Structure 1
């Protein structure tokens, strides 16, 4: 998990919500839009950070 701590655009802290968002959204029970609403991530820029993040640490780590 290497999500940036703050949103690149507005500077709001987004990393504190990432684990819960991933767990609830990947479980398939809830819509990601409703999960972000429940977590209080309201700005479009912050939502972009959460939805579009791809964990590449496992892919890149063997080459270090």
Structure 2
């Protein structure tokens, strides 16, 4: 549904980076690795939280 606020493993805040990451990496032509480096997301557990997230709000919202 929504991106988790904190990383499940280490507890760092990752939700603050989601919008910029989504715009630049998923909708643009930039490399996700470079985008995460520029955003300052260094830990691989936090990186996986952003890279593996799939936004399902548009899919689920018609059923509410």
Q: What TM-score do you get using the length of structure 1 for normalisation?
A: 0.89
Q: Deviations over 1:6-60 (max 9, x none)?
A: 00111000000111111111211x2110100010101111000000000111111
Q: Which runs of 5+ in 2 are unaligned?
A: none
In the other structure, the counterpart of 1:27 is 28
In the other structure, the counterpart of 1:7 is 7
Mapped pair 1:39 → 2:39:
yes
Q: What TM-score do you get using the length of structure 2 for normalisation?
A: 0.89
User: Any runs of at least 4 consecutive aligned residues in structure 1 with deviations exceeding 3 A, and if so which?
Assistant: none
Mapped pair 1:62 → 2:56:
no
CA RMSD of aligned residues (A): 1.2
Q: Which runs of 5+ in 1 are unaligned?
A: none
Instruction: State the secondary structure of the residue aligned to 1:59.
Output: helix
